[in-house]
Structure 1
Amino acid sequence: MQQQKPGAQIMCAVRSSAIVLPKEPEKPVIMAGMGTGLAPWRAVTQERVMQARQGLKVGKCMLFFGARYKQEWLYREEFESYEKEGVLQMHTAFSREQARKIYVQHRIVEAGNDVAERMLNQGGHFYVCGSARQVPEDIYTAMKEVMMAHERCAEEDAEAILSNLKMEGRYTVEAWS
């Protein structure tokens, strides 16, 4: 863009987001984002914080954020302040901060009881935003593991649960390559 002259034509496209938030603000929102995939979750959390400050009953936001290093965590202080307000629960995974790589999908499994409770018993919505490489598949596998453990069911049944959540618009992936 910097090399373009005034009046130059460029090709671009604007697409509608796949992310549709629940109509009822009291429904929990679970978000997973890596790197720049954090940006939409900042906006969602800010909306929920604003609603809570106005006295509306809002469902908790649960954010799973991953990056290679802790210093890549943008808006850390802002997110920590939302945790203190009680609107947000953070789960971070910094893959290169320890010998064994820890990713967002590991944190989802660790918080499996809370994730399943919010999704299956509280009508929550689950969103993934980030790179289309391996991340959506890895997170889907983690969610399948969560459903199998929580519901004490076979893999096929867990896949059926996740398929139903997708059809209901409660499991959404917004990914790019």
Structure 2
Amino acid sequence: MFRVEPLREADARAILTWRYPEPYEFYNPPDGGRDDDYVHAFLDPDLQFHAVRDRELMLAGFCSYGLDGQVPGGDYSDEALDIGLGMRPELTGKGHGAEFFKAILLHGTAVFAPDHFRLTVAQFNARAMRLYEGFGFREQSRFEQRWVTYSVLTRSAD
């Protein structure tokens, strides 16, 4: 079981140390000594970042609700709550995705009461696409940004 709660500075700093294996290294936080800038962004209340914790209250991942879930170049003209998320690398691919994502959706519904949810997903991430489609998300559009093709997926919040 997972729960969603406010993200703390220690969580943000931990996330910046995460490293994903190929082909998911695309999601690795950037190196380059700008950690404080990224921590500041994680803690910006306008970006609505949250920690996702496991039953032992260990940081299992994070999510965001709102603008952070959008990728430049996508069509976000329809009303929907954008979700961004990431799971701790050593937990990925072990069957936790559905429970993890369900906690994020339930929290989003309880706090924001949206009519629709929206995700923007890199097309190569077939594992994530299968998970989201299993939750009823359907592709609304595709676009390319910096040599990566993205799908914009939506579903009703009902």
- Normalised TM-score (structure 2): 0.34
Q: Which has the higher strand share?
A: 2
User: RCO (CA 8 Å, sep 6+): is it higher in 1 or 2?
Assistant: 1
